[in-house]
Structure 1
């Protein structure tokens, strides 16, 4: 059999499959052109989803691709930090006992007398260094962290950190969040997070509802691509099946990413305010203490300015740590001196791996007692879910297993995007009388075939969704404006 004869069934199969995909849209367009009233049916919902999935995929996929690649790089920052900064992050234990914090702090301050003492972080493990964090005005919101060997009180080095993150982790974090473009750059990641769940949900509906005979009624047809398919059908199978396998992960990343985005994050914060879902604040006011103005003090953890930290006695760190340990705060903790004489010390657990430890206590160093506390068990359910979601998004919740899972999801998303664009290219006309570089977009006018209940309920639902996710609402409106303008331009050309 010749190569031409072998290829013909494949081409006919792809052509038939393409026609079936475009049938709903073509009917809508032809009906509208003929001036007849469009037939409303639930098939119009599928046609609208096809069009939305196509255009959102074409225009949003580049943002998703960048987010996936930068997120993949950020996933393995713990290993990269060990590779780049291992000499300052880690030490040899050799069965020795740690030196008092006072000695370690004194050594750090002798090597770096600049700035004020902001906090001290105890080693996460027996082979890690103690972190003495200094607030240096010229560094802005960043800090200078001095790393000290807890067994010899020897200074191993210093790094410019941001909330405990190394320079490399900070750089990759900014790359993932805003491409180093500041607040304007954050729009890219919010566009990706806002549309990711729309693309995933729409793709699942299209794939699961696809008319594929007996194969559609089997789990194999949903979870595995058809190995006998060729051309665009093979690409579409890989695109869809990969999406099915990582759908839950993608929805998780979309939801958790939106919680700390700019605009959607503000909306989420308003929700937390309404339902009182924020994490409880630690009251650091010393009992009976008075402010300089004579009023009652009402300080909270996390609001310290460090004004009184410069005069903090290094020996007090050992006292405060002993009190915190006695009250159940084990593992890695962050000790923060009081902001003023009317405030207590703050000791906060910082262990994001499961099971997490986020207890906090306020300590009166003079009396050696706890004045207030917040426990992880007391967090509202929504605050717990938010905290756990963020740690899972960053790959910290389940250690290396969390990192591997995120890497698989990121690579899967990259493949989905590339296969999506390949499908667009494969569906291009290749006949001698009609050629094009890319496939034809789904036809316009699908909304005319939507059932009335869908229109009546859908318009307010989309408006509410646009309010909750402003970037999604604005970009969707931009799509609509562009679509209307394109239709008017085509109509003008046809009339001319």
Structure 2
């Protein structure tokens, strides 16, 4: 209830109102800075993410000429025959055999030539024809995935994943505060005006943000495992003390220094998992060979579409791994190349609680947990992110003074920054790279304020 003195607003109420305005300005200013920094990256992530969640459908369409085969009334070649056909077309060393997920998909063989990077050879497993030879992981979906994770540009740009994720969470938190109803009509769950007016874009931005905010936070949080600093450290913390395998799994076999991520597509939890070694074979004991290894993997019930990393020497193993949409079917099996005995057989149920939660989040982030509904929901979230970015840009353009960047005004009482900086500091400790970016922005903002004050005083 407003306190009145002779029909005027009391000093206490006036001070409270001024404090509310100052806090609003401080939050608005940092919402603006966060958006200015990461919205271009979020547009890139949204566009590439929207494509990648339909990766199987897109690749099947774009690369139908070599990924699709006719399987009617034909007998499959033995895996060794398929590898021989691939090596005839592309000399080198076969390092991986990828089982087709369906009868109408071709078989992919990865070959390491004497020079250059690994090559992917697509073979029709029914007739032995080589359908395509191309660099490994160069399909349209892999290219989009590398763009989405910034891996396409090397290790250093991947650090932006963590910065963007942290700032996305900051944008949602500050956006909720700015959206919070303050006795206004419209702009809460409805859009006022027409596209010619700034209020239309303000309301579009606010309503879209409050509807999609939860999805943005989820995507940011579940995208962090791929960051090169936070993700790598959490992976090491969760799995690093057990040869890279989730805690609780007994691993009592000889281990090589190679990691599963180096030889095959793997789950996030197993990127650092070391590959076991085959025990020293008896004199003259031969390898079981790829045909027997594939037969063993099939008998063990490995889900279709699995990859098999081939032994690289006498102590190597056959490493079969598969990560289908169904989390319960995720599995890794390492076979002794001389006896065919499983050295490690691990599935999703063997992961620790933290790893299972993270893998569920990653799987859902990729649109794989709930089928088409998952894909469509994430597609809408990606469209919302793009709409947020566009509406923010239009709203800023219509508001900014001519010849100025249009930074929201400073609060009159600078003390309101103290609590805001404390919250930002806590977030910075949780996400170190985001914290460094925030610190840089704070220093730039303070320097700009000091420069502006000296110009006015001159």
Is contact 1:63–1:192 with CA below 8 Å preserved after alignment?
A: yes
CA shift at 1:120, angstroms? 0.8
- Larger RCO: Structure 1 or Structure 2 (Cα < 8 Å, ≥ 6 residues apart)? 1
- Partner of 2:329, secondary structure, is coil
1:484 aligns with 2:446: yes
Long gaps (5+) in structure 1: 1-30, 32-36, 287-296, 430-435
Q: 2:219 aligns with which of 253, 260, 268?
A: 253
Whether the aligned pair in 2 keeps the contact of 1:41 and 1:449 (CA below 8 Å) is: no
- Residues 163-202 of structure 1: CA deviation (Å, up to 9, x unaligned): xx33433333333333853234334444322211110121
Q: Are 2:320 and 1:347 equivalent residues in the alignment?
A: yes
TM-superposition CA deviations, 1:309-346 (whole Å, max 9, x none)? xxx98972221222222223232222223343334322
Contact 2:276 2:317 in 1 (8 A): no
Superposed CA RMSD in Å reads 3.8
Listed as ranges, the matches of 1:277-296 within 5 Å are 279-280=245-246
d(CA) in 2 for partners of 1:202, 1:78:
37
2:100 aligned with 1:129: no
Separation in 1, partners of 2:287, 2:340: 15
8 Å contact from structure 2 (residues 82, 125) kept in 1: yes
- Higher fraction of helix: 1
Change beyond 3 A, Cα 1:84–1:305: farther
Stretch deviating more after TM superposition (242-251 or 151-160): 151-160
Task: Tell whether the 8 Å contact from 2:22 to 2:411 is kept in structure 1 after alignment.
Answer: no
Give the 3-state SS of the residue equivalent to 2:397 in structure 1: helix
Partner of 1:237: 203
Does residue 298 of the first structure (1) align with residue 251 of the second (2)? Answer: no
Q: Does 1:425 align with 2:397?
A: yes
Partner of 1:156: helix, strand, or coil? strand
**Match of 1:56, SS?**
helix
The Cα shift of 1:87 comes to 1.8
| Residue 198, structure 1, aligned to residue 176, structure 2 | no
Q: Which residue of 2 aligns with 1:82?
A: 60
Partner of 2:238: 272
Do the aligned partners of 2:316 and 2:337 also contact (CA within 8 Å) in 1? no
- Alpha-carbon deviation of 1:446? 6.0
Matched, 1:117 2:117: no
Counterpart in the other structure of 2:72: 94
Distance 2:67 2:287 in 1: 22
Determine the structure 1 residue equivalent to 2:145.
173
2:292 maps to 1:326: no
Q: Which residue of 2 aligns with 1:467?
A: 429
- How many residue pairs get aligned? The number is 426
Partner of 2:81: 103
Structure 1 residue 240: Cα displacement: 1.0
Change in 2 beyond 3 A, CA 1:196/1:275: farther
What corresponds to 1:6 in structure 2? none
Cα deviation code 1:96-151 (max 9, x no counterpart): 34232222222222332x221212111111111111211235333xx212222222
2:158 to 179, 182, 186: 186
Q: 1: distance between equivalents of 2:252 and 2:236?
A: 27
Structure 1 residues 41-77: Cα deviation after superposition (integer angstroms, max 9, x where no partner): 5665433212211222233322323333343344444
